Structure 1
Amino acid sequence: MSDDLLFDLPATPRIPVAGSDRAFPVRRIFCVGRNYAAHAAEMGNQVDREAPFYFTKSAHALCLTGGRIPYPPGTGDCHYEMEFVVAIGAPAFRVGKAEAMEAVMGYACGIDLTRRDLQAAAKDKRRPWDLGKDFENAALIAPITPVAEFGRIGDQRIMLEHDGAVVQDARLSDMVWSVPELIAHLSGFYHLAPGDLIYTGTPAGVGPIRPGSRLKGAVEGLTPVEVGIAPAE
């Protein structure tokens, strides 16, 4: 512990990078809302086609693939949301769509866990979604695959299995806002920097987990993300 600090903080979360012995340190997590029209519809919402919108998760909500996590506290209705994650590896501020992809280091499979009952209560009262979205283990992620190994974003399949049954199944081309559009828009409000992650939204088919659930999400060309749900603490 440093002599001028009252206490030490946890280490910066790190994500393994496929084919490398160096890890990706996480700075911030941005999440895109309603970026698949079918998911917006299943939640009783319409897509805002004027501009994307976002919510955030703290870096310490991150949870690496492969283990078991306790069912989240304070909720009786926690949902899975499979996501395509963009890892930022270069500064980007007020960039256009044409140069936006120059900031991308790689991609990963992620799962956004949502305390749906708390999110719904916040929406009803026009309050922020923080309790529903930003909590421990709420941002699951697999190792990052560098851009050069993944190639161009196209119609790659994105899907999630819950206890072996496919419950989410779509294509990256179904996103309302493309990755270049998201980076260009977000960079108008933030100085994006290496270590930032963008969870790009979830397809239709979200649903509740329970103790004993097993989730496995995949995007063609990326390492799958997997997690088991243990009883609540």
Structure 2
Amino acid sequence: MASMDDESTLDDPGEALRLIEHEQVNVIRHVTPDPRLMYWPWGLTWLISFGLSFLRYGPDGRALVALPEWVPLTSLTALMIAAGIFTGVAGARSGRHISGPSSRQGVMYGISWSAGFSGLAILFGRVSDSIPDSLQALLWGGGMVTLVGALYMAGGAIWSAWDMFVLGAWISVVNAAGVLWGPGWHALVVSVAGGGGLLAAGLIGWMRRR
């Protein structure tokens, strides 16, 4: 038998609607990954790895810090793998209760990231020895960031997530500006504006969830 509070709620359409909206918000919060877990690992990856690249391969080919040549690219590769695993696990845990088209979209979107990065890595590995050392970091960094920006924009279009689309557009603009600025400067721009943009997106998304 329903309580008096339940009966009054059912008799009040406005209160019932607010209750439904409240439950919808709780469900969305439960099945949607924490934006900090999805964006901050990548933001830190870019901030650290591209920052190291700027210090090692600065403007005009000047090494601002005498780091071994392998450090920037190795750190970028290792941190990207770690960030990919971390965000993949976080996304899978949040989406384990989701089935149907949304689940398939998420799986296919994740495969697109893996396929895109693998394809670019194979391509760049084949051609990087044919270009000057000063442009190799720009090729790898600019190419990978181009893919990230495009995939974020595609994800925003798939799920009608305006904030995700804007983030992808921001990354694309920042990357293009860095490429036009040239070797050395590209790493600085992507580290500060790109990595900082990802960190800000995670914070803003978390605040909106609250």
TM-score normalised according to structure 2 size? 0.26
Q: Which has the higher helix share?
A: 2
Larger radius of gyration: 2
Q: Which has the higher strand share?
A: 1
